Amino acid sequence: MILTVTLNPSLDRTLEVEQLLRGHVLRASDNHLDPGGKGVNVTRALLANGVASRAVLPVGPGEGAQLVDLLAGENVATLTVPVKGRTRSNVTVAEIDGTVTKINEPGPVLSPAELDAVADAAVAASEPGGWVVLCGSLPPGAPADLYAQMVRRIAAAGVRVAVDTSGPALALAVAAGPDLVKPNAEELAEAVGRPLDSRTDVVEAAQELRAAGARRVLVSLGSAGAILVDEDGVTVGTSVVHTPRSTVGAGDAFLAGFLSAHDQGGAAALATALSWGCAAVQLPGTQMPGPDDIDPASARVLAADSLDELLEERLVGTG
């Protein structure tokens, strides 16, 4: 079982337009309302592909109830913790050329008791040998070491822990010794405090996170592919997107794909992650890909003897 924890879930509305023009009245060619939050999306992607998963999340009144209804409509198993604050809403404007503009609300402030209730629910629902995935931004006012505290509690129960977050929360979580962290290039650069201009820079930064406590570091690089750094060394993969529609949620599908194939080894897991992420980019809104959307041939893992020149190439398109 892969359990996800989303401390700051959302309702995500995506509007598709030909081109975003400031100060103009625009008509959307399509719109989508989806349950949102990184952990929620990971669970949605896993379930869409037949992998057992459950989402733990705090839900407030109004939008929170609507979020739960949307998840129920997708047959997503949830463990909800009632909170007083209003669940946030996010808006994404997706242009026809694939450009995405996001407007995210900060989300509600959760009381210490509410935060403890979510953590307690996650620990109680976790299974030894399984995974708990801690995803996304922390709610406003939450302590920066909250994920680090949860990593220690969950790992002590014999459960593997993955973390997908950024900023101080990521750095503190790394020091707690998670089994996996999944930053993108920007988040990794922030974590090590310097720009990352090549894949070699990314590898060196990922190795620093391993030295600081993370067992595996999985770095998504957007159109430049992805890199896995673990005890077996460095694995590099690429993918091809034919018709991009929305990048929102693609990183979550990427992480879900990796976890789904983790026990098959790093190379297989990285290839699966890339193919799932590639499929998500070609879907509207935050729709998660299912088997009919995923093309394993869209991703490939590069041979070790071909990496030297590639690692030195300047990175482009890692946003």
Which residues are catalytically annotated?
Answer: 252
Tell me the C-alpha distance between 286 and 309, whole Å: 35
Tell me the C-alpha distance between 39 and 76, whole Å: 12
In degrees and rounded to multiples of 5, residue 108 shows phi and psi of -80, 155
Tokens coding 200: 């070699």
Q: Any idea what DSSP says for residue 264?
A: G
Tokens coding 31: 């719109």
DSSP lists the bridge partners of residue 2 as 53, 131
The length of the chain in residues reads: 319
Q: Any idea what DSSP says for residue 87?
A: P
109: helix, strand or coil = coil
Where does residue 234 fall: left (phi above 0), alpha (psi -120 to 50 degrees), or beta otherwise? beta
Sheet holding 216-220, edge to edge: 78-82, 53-59, 2-6, 131-135, 160-164, 180-181, 216-220, 226-230, 233-239, 299-301
Pair 80, 58: CB distance under 8 Å: yes
Tell me the C-alpha distance between 135 and 220, whole Å: 15
Q: Any idea what DSSP says for residue 233?
A: E
Tell me the C-alpha distance between 91 and 318, whole Å: 22
Tell me the C-alpha distance between 289 and 219, whole Å: 20
